[in-house]
Structure 1
Amino acid sequence: MDPLDKAVLASLYSSALDPSVPAYDRLKARLPLGQELYNGRVSHLVKMGLIENSDPSKLTFIGRDALKVVLVGGVFDLIHPGHIHTLKAAKAEGDVLVVVVARQLTARKIKKDRKIYHDESLRKELVASLNFVDLVLIGREGTLYDTVEYVKPNVIALGYDQAHSEKEIAENCKRRNLNVHVIRLSTPIPGSKSSKMKKELGDSIYGI
């Protein structure tokens, strides 16, 4: 498929999950694309059966199947080189990278007694500033699987040190009739961790 056509599909998919940014605006932020060219591509994809004719803001089942969506989740309190490497590796696994930032309550459970410097909105903004990330969402209330059911990714990519079990996630997804491939990403810089930064810098992190 033409890369621009795939980018149009990706923008429509992302805006369906987060309607606060229209698909054209989302795509224009990444590519120098005029409205006329965008509309022409949408019309072309409608004819191909990849976008709904009755509602050009929605993908057909065929259109959705044309995208490989990768989901990554985490707290992302302090973005560091380890995060960048992990997220880029996840993006390389598919066409669309969706990053789910943990809600404040969930983040506290994950980090336990460790301080969280930024609230969920700021953490979302931090991750969204990375131009290779297609969509950033705050995790849904409930369990991890409520978010997975909402996003319906093809791949869930776990960081090298995340506590989740690949097998357990795959089995729980299967119980919800979600066909998801779960992978574990490696890192060439295992010493790059938020917990280490916080331990060494403490509140002086704000002076950087």
Structure 2
Amino acid sequence: MSEEPRRVLAQGTFDLLHPGHLHYLSEAAEHGDELHVIVSRGGNVTHKPSPTCPDRQRRDVVAALSVVDEAHLGHTEDYFVPVAEIDPDVIVLGFDQHHDEEAIRDTLHERGLDAEVVRATGRDPQYEEEMLSTNEMIRKLLEERG
């Protein structure tokens, strides 16, 4: 009898993909056999500017990455609905995401979900002009083309 694959979950807005996103998702994938990604719905993003790209487009672009096994749109009201459906073994948070690891662990426990919660490492630019921030990309676009 074969063992169940170790499911990993990553989450984010993924508005304009950049090397920092690729680093995060690649590192998350190293924690297991299947990488599932929840792409936040624009209406749920309240801690930073709303995404530029539509929800489905961001999900489709993330799904096209070879490191991602499946991309899902987040629930409109409850972040933990898709988490329960995916039932991950590990949840990998981005190094700069605003999420409180302990609060996530507590909610997982309350809902009967058993998943390890870890934080990914950051990534430094590999060359001087490399951009690792969606906001930085938007600022540069506005400066050069706005």
User: For residue 93 of structure 1, what is the aligned residue in structure 2?
Assistant: 31
User: For residue 168 of structure 1, what is the aligned residue in structure 2?
Assistant: 103
Aligned match for 1:137, one of 72, 79, 83: 72
Change (3 A) 1:140 1:115: closer
Aligned match for 2:12, one of 53, 69, 74: 74
| Structure with higher helix content | 1
User: For residue 178 of structure 1, what is the aligned residue in structure 2?
Assistant: 113
Matched ranges for 1:40-79 at <5 A: 48=1, 66-79=4-17
Unaligned regions of 5+ residues in structure 2, if any? 126-130
Correspondence 1:201 to 2:138: no
Change (3 A) 1:176 1:96: same
Instruction: Name the larger-Rg structure.
Output: 1
Q: Percent identity?
A: 33
Unaligned regions of 5+ residues in structure 1, if any? 1-47, 51-62
Distance in 1, matches of 2:144 and 2:54, equals: 18
Distance in 2, matches of 1:204 and 1:174, equals: 48
**Is the partner of 2:67 in helix, strand or coil?**
coil
Distance in 1, matches of 2:36 and 2:103, equals: 21
Give 1:192 shift: 1.1
User: For residue 103 of structure 1, what is the aligned residue in structure 2?
Assistant: 41
Moved over 6 A (4+): none
User: For residue 57 of structure 1, what is the aligned residue in structure 2?
Assistant: none
Amino acid at match of 2:68: V
Amino acid at match of 1:192: L
Distance in 2, matches of 1:166 and 1:115, equals: 23
Change (3 A) 1:140 1:192: same
Amino acid at match of 2:82: T
Deviations 1:54-105 (A, max 9, x none): xxxxxxxxx5xx2111101111010000000110000000000001111121
Instruction: Compute the RMSD of aligned alpha carbons.
Output: 2.1
